[in-house]
Amino acid sequence: MRNFKYFFLILLIYFYTPSKSNQNELVIHGAYAFETFKGQKSCAVYLSFFNNTNTDFEINSLSSNIADKAEIHGTFIDKEVVKMKKIEKLKIKSKDQVYLQPGGMHIMLMGLKKELIDGTTFPIDFLINNKEKMKINVMVVSSKLRENFIE
Ligand SMILES: [Cu+2]
């Protein structure tokens, strides 16, 4: 439990670190993924979208140089089993926030080309509104922190 608080604090600091606050742009905060084990072929990425602009945004596609494929997934429960479904176009409406968190929506990287090591970062590229490109860095964190989410 103490670890969870510690992790939450780190995330808070990470989320609230002032970024280039651009009134015209979608802001993406606190992207992280858990470290992977040898041979692991897919992983989830969590982050938050903040849209303080007067326009709606739509994520059309995404990619990363460390994976063959990247998709946004939603989760739903079917006969007591948690399943994932690809979200073709994620909408982030004007003045809205969308949170991708463990147990819910997430970015799925498939066909991982390398092991993710605690403390390293990797990029994800987004195509937004069919024209704007945005690159973010994802922080890899220790899988020990993952266990605290399940408690
Ligand atoms: Cu998934």
Structure tokens at 20: 């280039």
Higher pLDDT, 95 or 6: 95
Give the pLDDT score at 73.
97
Phi, psi dihedrals of residue 103, rounded to the nearest 5°: 90, -10
Is residue 4 very low, low, confident or very high in pLDDT (cuts 50, 70, 90)? low
Q: For residue 84, how far is its CA from the centre of ligand 1 (angstroms)?
A: 5
Which pTM does this prediction carry? 0.81
Give the pLDDT score at 25.
85
- State the CATH number of the domain containing residue 105: 2.60.40.1890
Q: For residue 27, how far is its CA from the centre of ligand 1 (angstroms)?
A: 22
Whether residue 144 is predicted with pLDDT greater than 90 in this model: the reply is no
Nearest to 146 by CA among 46, 73, 70: 46
Residues with CB under 5 A from ligand 1 (ion): 73, 84, 108
- The torsion region of residue 53 among left (phi > 0), alpha (psi -120 to 50) and beta comes to beta
Q: For residue 22, how far is its CA from the centre of ligand 1 (angstroms)?
A: 30
Give the pLDDT score at 1.
52
pLDDT in tens, 33-65: 999 999 999 999 999 999 999 999 999 999 999
- The torsion region of residue 79 among left (phi > 0), alpha (psi -120 to 50) and beta comes to left
Q: Which amino acid is at 104?
A: G
Instruction: Specify which residues 47 forms β-bridges with.
Output: 100
Nearest to 127 by CA among 67, 53, 70: 70
Q: Which amino acid is at 114?
A: K
| Total structural domains within the chain | 1
How does 77-89 read in b/e, with b if 16+ C-beta sit within 10 Å? eeeeeeeeeeeee
Instruction: Specify which residues 46 forms β-bridges with.
Output: 32
Give the pLDDT score at 82.
87
Q: For residue 23, how far is its CA from the centre of ligand 1 (angstroms)?
A: 31
Mean pLDDT for all residues in the chain:
87
Q: For residue 77, how far is its CA from the centre of ligand 1 (angstroms)?
A: 13
**Can you give the residue range of the structural domain that contains 43?**
2-150
Q: For residue 54, how far is its CA from the centre of ligand 1 (angstroms)?
A: 30
Q: For residue 68, how far is its CA from the centre of ligand 1 (angstroms)?
A: 14
Is residue 151 very low, low, confident or very high in pLDDT (cuts 50, 70, 90)? very low
Q: What percent of the chain has pLDDT over 70?
A: 82
How many Cα atoms occupy the beta-carbon half-sphere of 25 within 13 Å? 14
Q: For residue 82, how far is its CA from the centre of ligand 1 (angstroms)?
A: 10
Give the pLDDT score at 50.
95
Whether residue 15 is predicted with pLDDT greater than 80 in this model: the reply is no
Whether residue 83 is predicted with pLDDT greater than 80 in this model: the reply is yes
Residue 145: helix, strand or coil by DSSP?
A: helix
